[in-house]
Each structure stands twice: as C-alpha cells, then as structure tokens.
Amino acid sequence: MKKNRLALSAVLTLIFIAGLFAVGQAAKMRIAMVTDVGGVNDQSFNQSAWEGLKRAEKDFGAEVAYKESRQDADYAPNMETLTDAGYDLIWGIGFLMGDAIKETAEINPDQKYAIIDFSYGPETPKNVACAVFQEEEPSFLVGYIAGKMTKTNKVGFVGGIKFPLIEKFEYGYMAGVKLANPDAEVLRQYAESFTDAAKGKAITNNMYQQGADIVFHASGGVGDGVIEAAKEKGKWAIGVDKDQNFLAPDNVLTSAMKRVDNAIYDIGKRLMGGEFAGGDTVVYNLKNDGVGIAPTSNKHVPAEILKEVDGLVAKIKAGEIVVPATKDALDKF
C-alpha cells in the first residue's frame, strides 16, 4: 500500500514536471504558413509573407515554419499537417486557399487560422482571421509616376490571371496614369499564368515594340520576365508586392508594394498580446502602412514627382481621393 502511494506520488510529480515543460513551451508563439503553388521564393507575396514571419522570429522569438504547395489539392492536407504540429496560428497565403482554409477551419474548430487576400465577409468562421489589401492604392501611385515619366505617352500593364484581385492593380494603375497624363495610352495584357517568366518577357518585349516605355506588372513569377525584358531593352519596369529594384537596379523605376510581411507581423504581434481578429477582416491600406511605394523610388523618380505623390498619399489617406478598383469605378473616375 505504502509502495503504491510512493509510486503514485512519483508519477504525479513527473506529470507535474512534464506539465511545467509544456507550459514553458506554450509561452513561445508558434506560427506557420502554407504557400500557394508559387512557392516561398517567388520574389513576390509568398516570399514577402515568409519575410514577415522571419521578422516575427527575430523580434519576438516566434517559432516559424513554412510548407509549400505543389498543386491545388495540397492546400487542405498541408493545413492538416500544420494543424497536427500544434501551431498557434496557421497562415494561408493567397486567395486560392480560401476554400481549403474554410473547410479545414470547420473541422478543426479549436485551431486558429488566417488568410491573406481573401475575406469570407459575414461567413468568416470564428477561428479564421482575414487580411486584405487595397492594392489599387499603390497601383494608383505608380500609375501616376508612370504617367508623368513616359516619353512616348504609352505605358504597359502585365497581369497574371484575370482575377478581380489583379484587376484592382490594373484599374488603380490606369486611374493613376489617367490623372497624371490624360493623353497616355495603357497597353494591357494578361499572361494567364503566375509562373511563366518566358511569357512575361515576350509580352513585355511586344509592348516595348509597340512604343511603350514603362511596364507595370502584377503577375508574381511572370514579372521576372517583365523585368528581364526591361533590362535587356534598357526600358523601365515597375515592380509589385516587394521592392523589386534589386532585380534590375537601373531598370526598375519603382514598385507597388503590398506589405504582406507587415500584415503577417502585425497579426502575429496582436496574437502575442492575446488579441485575435477571429471572424473579422482586417483591411491594410495606405493609412496603416499596409501598402505603399518602394523606398528605392527616389533613385530614378525626380524629387518633384515624388512630392506630388506624397500629396496624393495625403489626399487618399484623408479620403479626398477614392482610388477606383473596378472598371465601373474607373469609368466614373
């Protein structure tokens, strides 16, 4: 009997110690993300997301990991794998993961998820936070720069696949060009891909041949080809998502930055403070530094144009300018 009690107390002590360890580990925030098929080195928003997590690792010691998807059917199992690994928060990068996250969130009601670029509106599950961006705002600003700086009165836009998300870039850009230079023509083409750099290059070369001298892209990996074409032909390209100037320092005029990294960092930090926007949608725009133009813009864009851009930023923040994000809104702009 006595022996039994001794054994029991030993077991209890062990459980207690194990519990302490578990608590000690739980204090460390663990965040993981699932990329879309673009992969983590896409020079674009998947990479930006990963940079956001890396910053969270550095600043507040979060433990971070990523998992790449190779096809559409990988999204849900990747979510499941990370759910089993017991992360505090699991990110889905990109609206293509919308269905997968919702379905996974429904059968794992105790796990927190978040998604970039997608909002379920009122149907957002309680354990999912959505982060969306007003991409039309930075596109508008780079469009304004392009409209001011074109010498041929022709500029180009290369889109990835014609989703409404990419159209926000397209119409915001067109509005910017229109405001700066009503005579300028915008050549537009979609590459029907987010990965085919060769196609991006071919489209861009074609635009340069038609007389365009500045081409803006919102096309993920296709944009590598756009920037390469600019480099070879000695023309201008405008980057997207990240500051893409490093890809061709003399040919990337500016970049329409979508700070996916800021959003991911921000939501992670809020979670550290015990606050989680479950069931809600957080909108990132110029006001909260969720979007903007690249800091390297001052290398090639004259100071007076940048000053005008600053003026536009102030007007957008104040709500005096509402940047169009759709064709209808652009027609009225």
CA separation, residue 132 to residues 54, 248, 274 (Å): 20, 29, 21
Q: Distance from CA of residue 58 to its chain's centroid?
A: 20
Measured from the CB atom, the residue of 56 and 316 that comes closer to another protein is 56
Task: Among 49, 53, 62, 82, indicate the residue that binds another protein (CB under 8 A).
Answer: 82
Q: Does 328 bind another protein (CB under 8 A)?
A: no
212 near 189, Cβ under 8 Å? no
Least distance between another protein and beta carbon 74 (Å): 7
The residue range among 148-156, 188-196, 206-214, 283-291 that interacts with another protein, by the rule CB under 8 A, is 188-196
Nearer to another protein, 76 or 214 (CB): 76
Query: CB under 8 Å to 282, separation ≥6 — which residues?
Result: 129, 130, 131, 132, 263, 266, 267
Question: What's the gap between Cα 288 and its chain centre?
Answer: 15
Q: Decide if 229 contacts 205 (C-beta within 8 A).
A: yes
| CB nearer to another protein: pick between 69 and 150 | 69
Comparing CB distances to another protein, the nearer of 211 and 278 is 278
Q: How far is C-alpha 295 from the chain's CA centre?
A: 17
Of 68, 88, 170, 228, which lies in the binding site for another protein, with binding defined by CB under 8 A?
68
Inter-axis angle of helices 197-209 and 222-233, nearest 10: 40
Asked if 193 touches another protein (CB under 8 A), the answer is: yes
Q: How many residues bind another protein (CB under 8 A)?
A: 40
Which CB atom, from 31 or from 316, has the smaller least distance to another protein? 31
Please measure the distance between the N-terminal and C-terminal CA atoms of the chain and give it in whole angstroms.
86
Per CB under 8 A, which of residues 103..122 are in contact with another protein? 103, 106-109
User: What is the x/- site pattern for another protein, positions 135-174, by CB under 8 A?
Assistant: -------------------------xxxxxx---------
- Strands of 63-67's sheet in order across: 63-67, 30-34, 89-92, 112-116, 128-133, 281-284
Within 8 A by CB and 6+ apart from 75, the residues are 34, 36, 69, 92, 96, 97, 100, 101
Say whether residue 96 binds another protein (CB under 8 A): yes
Please pick, from the candidates 91, 95, 171, 236, the single residue that binds another protein as defined by CB under 8 A. 95
| Least Å from the CB of residue 5 to another protein | 32
Amino acid present at 108? N
Judged by CB under 8 A, does residue 26 bind another protein? Answer: no
Residue matched to tokens 């999912």: 128
**Residue from the set 42, 74, 137, 243 that interacts with another protein by CB under 8 A:** 74
Strands (E), 36-84: 63-67
- Smaller CB separation from another protein, 112 or 148: 112
Whole-number minimum distance, CB 64 to another protein, in Å?
10
Rule CB under 8 A: say whether 77 interacts with another protein: yes
Q: Which of 195, 206, 281, 326 binds another protein (CB under 8 A)?
A: 195
Residue 104, number of CB atoms within 10 A of its CB: 26
Q: Which residues bind another protein (CB under 8 A)?
A: 32, 37, 39-40, 65-68, 70-74, 76-78, 80-82, 84-85, 95-96, 98-99, 103, 106-109, 160-165, 192-195
